[in-house]
Amino acid sequence: MVRCEHLELRNFRNYARLELDLPAGVIVLQGENAQGKTNLLEALHIVATTRSSRGAPERDWIHWLAFEEPLPFARIGARVRRANSTVLVEVVAAVGENGTGVTKRMKINGALRRAVDVVGQVKVVLFSPQDIDLVAGGPAQRRRYLNIMNAQVDPKYLRALQLYERVLLQRNSLLRLVRDRQARSDQLDYWDKQLAEHGAYVIDRRREALQLLNELIAEIHPALTADRERLVVTYRPNLGNDLPVEPLPPLAELSATILAAVQALRPREVAQGASLVGPHRDDFQLTTDGTDLTAFGSRGQQRTAALALKLAEAEFIRRRAGDQPVLLLDDVMSELDARRRRQVLAAIRSEQQVVITTTDLDDFEPTFLDHATILRVKAGRIERAR
């Protein structure tokens, strides 16, 4: 069972210094508001994904007081226990020598590594009250969901996504140059191919993921609701308006499909100075009995669908990667009813590491707490309650 067995924070958020042993099983992190509970989950999320769970820039990670030091930095170090080994993962955000930009460095066992090498050493799934935005919010939230999940189980996905995003930036600035007649349009040919190649892999993996997610959700969702609604997720890739989206061609033909769409749209892309086709415009739709939950779902339906997506994410990672993700539950128990609470707790496998934050231990059954490690958080310090 992969878990984070030790965490060391230096100048991370409101933790000036922290050394913390994290046992296997359930850990309940109890504390008043604004003491550092979510910050600790954020640190674990960064160890797993190199990215903030809040989408916060690296500068925000650094303790405010550290900015009075000559070279401000935040450091997160974790000892990850894997089946037959332990791995030291380190993520540092530091203000550069020139005092301005913040750069991020990652190490594994003391050696500098790239994000793709770090992501997935330990895997996490975060549950938070904001999860409802997965359903109620815009497509960017749903793409982020797909990205975090796929990147943790497939380094090639993360690599393709990184390359794709780089191509997109280059291509968009070239499109604007062409529009302003400062570049020739045939210079776009190279970037079109790059976009199609990396984009095809991303789309293919997302398609595959959504297929499995649908199967998982078909089992998970009914258990969350008393109604007999069936939740279905449908991939909505953006391949230009002129092309049918269903069925998507297999990976081998996908990049040609994207390329054709891109070339057909070139005049419009040049006019708008933006790339209009590709996985950066993807979405997926959530429906129950044909009703789009994003537009028409009740708050309760949206919340349930979001929870189903999250539980499916955990199961997806387990199936694809073979190891259990660490579950991070931020403040979610208090807002769930008894049925959904049971369902979340039922998803926890024995020995699986779970970190649950709460302000109030009364949110839990005493028998549940009997099997948990309880930690108290106060102003950036953590003590073991028992």
Ligand X SMILES: Nc1ncnc2c1ncn2[C@@H]1O[C@H](COP(=O)(O)OP(=O)(O)OP(=O)(O)O)[C@@H](O)[C@H]1O
Site string for ligand X, 182-221 (x = CB under 6 A): ----------------------------------------
247 prior amide bond cis, ω within 30: yes
Say which residues have a Cβ less than 8 Å from residue 24's Cβ, sequence separation at least 6.
1, 3, 351, 352, 353
Q: Output the smallest distance, CB 38 to ligand X, in A.
A: 3
Stretch that binds ligand X, among 29-37, 106-114, 217-225, 318-326 (CB under 6 A): 29-37
Q: Are 106 and 50 in contact (CB under 8 A)?
A: yes
Which of 57, 138 has the CB closer to ligand X? 57
Half-sphere exposure of 340 (CA within 13 A, CB side): 20
Q: Can you tell me the distance from the alpha carbon of 238 to that of 277, in angstroms, rounded to the nearest whole number?
A: 6
The burial of 201, by beta-carbon neighbours within 10 Å (0-12 exposed, 13-18 middle, 19 or more buried), is given as buried
Q: Output the smallest distance, CB 266 to Mg ion, in A.
A: 47
Tell me if 3 contacts ligand X by CB under 6 A.
no
Site string for ligand X, 318-357 (x = CB under 6 A): -------------x--------------------------
Stretch that binds ligand X, among 55-63, 77-85, 138-146, 236-244 (CB under 6 A): 55-63
Stretch that binds ligand X, among 31-39, 157-165, 167-175, 267-275 (CB under 6 A): 31-39
* 280 interacts with, out of Mg ion, ligand X, none, CB within 5 to 8 A per kind: none
In Å, how far from its chain's centre is CA 155?
14
Task: Single out the residue of 329, 350, 333, 351 nearest to residue 342, CA to CA.
Answer: 333
Q: Output the smallest distance, CB 84 to ligand X, in A.
A: 34
Tell me if 287 contacts Mg ion by CB under 5 A.
no
Tell me if 38 contacts Mg ion by CB under 5 A.
yes
Q: Can you tell me the distance from the alpha carbon of 354 to that of 124, in angstroms, rounded to the nearest whole number?
A: 9
Q: Show the DSSP H helices in the chain as ranges.
A: 37-49, 115-118, 133-136, 139-153, 155-179, 188-224, 251-264, 266-272, 293-296, 299-321, 338-346, 366-370
Tell me if 36 contacts ligand X by CB under 6 A.
yes
Tell me if 359 contacts ligand X by CB under 6 A.
yes
Q: Output the smallest distance, CB 373 to ligand X, in A.
A: 18
Can you tell me which of 34, 111, 271, 346 binds ligand X, judged by CB under 6 A? Answer: 34
Tell me if 53 contacts ligand X by CB under 6 A.
no
Reported as type and span, the H/E element at residue 86 is strand 86-95
Regarding beta strands 373-378 and 381-384, do their DSSP bridges make them parallel or antiparallel, or are they unpaired?
A: antiparallel
Which of 34, 271 has the CB closer to ligand X? 34
Q: Can you tell me the distance from the alpha carbon of 301 to that of 229, in angstroms, rounded to the nearest whole number?
A: 10
Q: Output the smallest distance, CB 11 to ligand X, in A.
A: 8
Q: Output the smallest distance, CB 34 to ligand X, in A.
A: 4
Residues at the contact surface with ligand X, assessed by CB under 6 A: 13-14, 31, 33-39, 60, 62-64, 331, 359
